[in-house]
Amino acid sequence: MDNANFDHVMTTTRSVRKRLDFTRPVERSVIEECIEIALQAPTGSNRQGWHFVVVTDAAKRKAIADAYRELFVAYSTSPQAEYEASDPRAAQQPKVRDSATYLADHMHECPVFIIPCIEGRTDGASSGAQAGFWGSILPAAWSLMLALRSRGLGTAWTSIHLGREKELSKLLGIPENVAQAVLFPVAYFTGDDFKLATRLPASQVTHWDSW
């Protein structure tokens, strides 16, 4: 294994918003290839109850983007958003907020949406059951992000649309017993100067044998 290239992709896969190229088409074959890779991710009890809804239809993308934008605006003015902005660890919060606002305003221009889903629901489930449930789709979703990144495609992990999950599931024909996990706006990115993000050193967040 080429550790250098592997580590580069792992450590420079960023949330891409402002650098998505909305003018360049995304080939269906590339999306299919990336999903094939994502399907090799581990999944709880090997259930493999995952599905990937790929949205390229312009009218459906606009409907999803409109719902996303409305929910984003509502969240941006909520007490929760104000609380998160006041967190002293969020030194780059204004930059992130500006980037997120840009994506909300332009999401409808993105050529492809991918919505990883999983069979079942977590309504009323215990924390343990929920951990196993989401742990059966989120590794595949992350693998999908990495596969896209290695092919020059960027995306951002978004979930605000889940505030209207039932409405959007109906739009896309997703069965009621299937849960959406995340929404990926996908496009080729411009430039390739992604760098390591500012993170706390591992020594501050790693606990050996006890907290």
User: What pLDDT score was predicted for residue 93?
Assistant: 72
Report which of 115, 95, 112, 116 is spatially closest to residue 188, judged by C-alpha positions.
Answer: 112
More confident residue, 32 or 90: 32
User: What pLDDT score was predicted for residue 94?
Assistant: 79
User: pLDDT grade, residue 116 (50/70/90)?
Assistant: very high
Rounded to the nearest 10 degrees, the angle between the axes of helix 58-76 and helix 93-106 is: 150
- Write down all domains in the chain, each with its CATH number in brackets: 11-197 (3.40.109.10)
Q: What is the pLDDT averaged over residues 105-128?
A: 96
Q: Considering the chain, what is the average pLDDT of its residues?
A: 93
β-bridge mates for residue 50, sequence order: 118
Q: What is the pLDDT averaged over residues 18-45?
A: 96
Q: Of 73-87, 102-116, 178-192, which range is least confident?
A: 73-87
Q: Of 43-47, 63-67, 151-155, 181-185, which range is least confident?
A: 43-47
Most confident of the ranges 3-17, 65-79, 109-123, 191-205:
109-123
Q: What are phi and psi of 7, to 5 degrees?
A: -65, -35
More confident residue, 29 or 192: 29
Q: What is the pLDDT of residues 39-91, one digit of tens each?
A: 999 998 888 999 999 999 999 999 999 999 999 999 888 777 665 666 666 65
Coil, strand or helix: which one is 114? strand
